[in-house]
């Protein structure tokens, strides 16, 4: 029997994902008539929410917030009016894990299965079928959902039988990536203010252990003069707020994530609700008073300090976010398996996550005193140049505090303390 699929929520991400279901028995729904018309012109059918649910076996949703998901399901005329026992709802929203689990309970009372399957990787990756999809839910739901999700991307993971864990892991992923993004841009701004050329600085970062998703994508795109994401800045701030809420609920300190969220919130206020994630580049320029693009020197000593500072910030971002995920109840091995293939990737994560999954600290080539010296030197230079180094200062304070309880000769990899304490 041909499976009848519905997709509700055709924004930038949902619309890109739904195109991969064209050619199947697909019905779509969105408040934007143009988004619906574009897919109808390519072979989909259109329906109101209750009718879509009534006529489909599996319904996927991709909406801005979990509150929107609840409204789409249970408001008058919503999906629930057309749902029947045996149907499956797949929520691809980057939402609130605990609220999503409550929605799943409400649907279960109607005999309807639910999974969450948020995506990571950005709009271009969604268009290319290359996003990371992190699904969670009962095995029976997963077995039914897997072929549909694999039509959307070639990177699909089932991380847990507990609904909401996919969203929690997505929050871990996004928080790590946001920490990378803002710390790396801050360090690049310092390098540019000190006279380094953007191209050699980015090439250095990408060739060694400091490489991360931001340096390989956003910064490489900046060197080449192209945009790399159309993701809304407001949605990233929303995800960071959700991650920090989980951090508070689990007793997990997340200072680097909080710093990244604070800077992005400033950007949202300055640039307005239409701001995109790529706009953190001009935001960094405004905050630092320096243009990130341009030629300059390739001072190897300064670049080595920036490299070590970036490695340290990458490491802290990973450690604090993974610790939060563990305290929430996520599996260490599952996080290690999934985080390394999306926007949480960095060169150091390839060393750190396997060690964390085994409950041990990784051994990196630097010591804590070496990291402290590099961060201190960069802070002094930033002060002289008049740059606000918010995330780098957070990393410096963290390293200085860690020396007091890890010892003066500790390896930098021991900053993965959060895993052992979880």
Please tell me the distance from the alpha carbon of residue 87 to that of residue 153, in angstroms, as a whole number.
22
Please tell me the distance from the alpha carbon of residue 314 to that of residue 344, in angstroms, as a whole number.
9
Please tell me the distance from the alpha carbon of residue 188 to that of residue 171, in angstroms, as a whole number.
25
User: Which residue among 45, 87, 155, 170 is the active-site one?
Assistant: 170
DSSP code string of 328-373 = HT--HHHHHHHHTTSTT-BTTHHHHHHHHHTTS----S-BHHHHHH
Non-local (6+) Cβ contacts of 235 within 8 A are: 64, 94
Please tell me the distance from the alpha carbon of residue 183 to that of residue 175, in angstroms, as a whole number.
12
The answer to whether residue 170 is catalytic is yes
Helix intervals (H) in 76-197 = 97-108, 123-128, 139-152, 165-193
Of residues 64, 67, 61, 52, the one with CA closest to residue 18: 61
Instruction: Compute, in degrees rounded to 10, the torsion defined by CA atoms 138, 23, 66, 339.
Output: 60
Non-local (6+) Cβ contacts of 308 within 8 A are: 210, 366, 370, 371, 374
Rounded to a whole number of angstroms, the distance between the first and last alpha carbons of the chain is 47
Q: Which helix (H) or strand (E) holds 60?
A: strand 58-61
Please tell me the distance from the alpha carbon of residue 215 to that of residue 398, in angstroms, as a whole number.
23
Positions annotated as catalytic residues are 170
């Amino acid at each position: 029997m041909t499976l009848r699929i519905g997709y509700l929520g055709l924004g930038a991400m949902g619309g890109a994902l739904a195109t991969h279901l064209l050619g199947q028995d697909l019905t779509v729904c969105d408040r934007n008539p143009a988004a619906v018309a574009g897919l109808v012109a390519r072979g989909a059918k259109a329906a109101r929410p209750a009718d879509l649910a009534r006529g489909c076996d599996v319904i996927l949703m991709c909406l801005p917030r979990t509150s929107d998901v609840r409204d789409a399901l249970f408001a008058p005329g919503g999906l629930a009016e057309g749902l029947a026992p045996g149907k499956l709802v797949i929520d691809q929203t980057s939402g609130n894990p605990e609220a999503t689990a409550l929605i799943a309970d409400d649907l279960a009372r109607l005999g309807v299965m639910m999974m969450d399957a948020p995506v990571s990787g950005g709009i271009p990756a969604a268009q290319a079928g290359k996003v990371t999809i992190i699904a969670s839910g009962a095995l029976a739901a997963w077995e039914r959902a897997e072929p549909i999700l694999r039509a959307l991307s070639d990177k699909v993971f089932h991380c847990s039988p507990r609904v909401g864990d996919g969203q929690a892991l997505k929050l871990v992923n996004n928080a790590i990536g946001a920490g990378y993004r803002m710390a790396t841009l801050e360090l690049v701004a310092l390098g540019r203010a000190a006279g380094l050329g953007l191209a050699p600085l980015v090439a250095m970062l990408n060739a060694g252990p400091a490489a991360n998703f931001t340096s390989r994508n956003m910064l490489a795109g900046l060197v080449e003069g192209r945009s790399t994401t159309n993701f809304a800045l407001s949605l990233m701030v929303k995800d960071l707020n959700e991650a920090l809420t989980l951090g508070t609920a689990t007793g997990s300190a997340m200072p680097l994530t909080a710093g990244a969220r604070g800077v992005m919130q400033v950007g949202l206020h300055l640039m307005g609700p239409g701001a995109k994630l790529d706009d953190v580049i001009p935001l960094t320029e405004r905050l630092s008073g320096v243009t990130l693009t341009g030629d300059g020197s390739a001072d190897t000593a300064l670049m080595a300090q920036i490299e070590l500072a970036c490695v340290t910030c990458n490491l802290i971002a990973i450690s604090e976010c993974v610790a939060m995920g563990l305290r929430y109840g996520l599996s260490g091995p599952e996080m290690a398996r999934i985080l390394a293939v999306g926007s949480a990737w960095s060169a150091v994560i390839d060393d750190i996550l396997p060690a964390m999954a085994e409950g041990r600290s990784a051994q990196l080539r630097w010591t804590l005193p070496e990291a402290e010296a590099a961060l201190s030197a960069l802070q002094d230079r930033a002060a002289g140049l008049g740059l606000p180094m918010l995330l780098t200062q957070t990393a410096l304070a963290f390293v200085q505090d860690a020396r007091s309880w890890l010892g003066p000769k500790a390896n930098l990899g021991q900053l993965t303390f959060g895993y052992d304490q979880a």
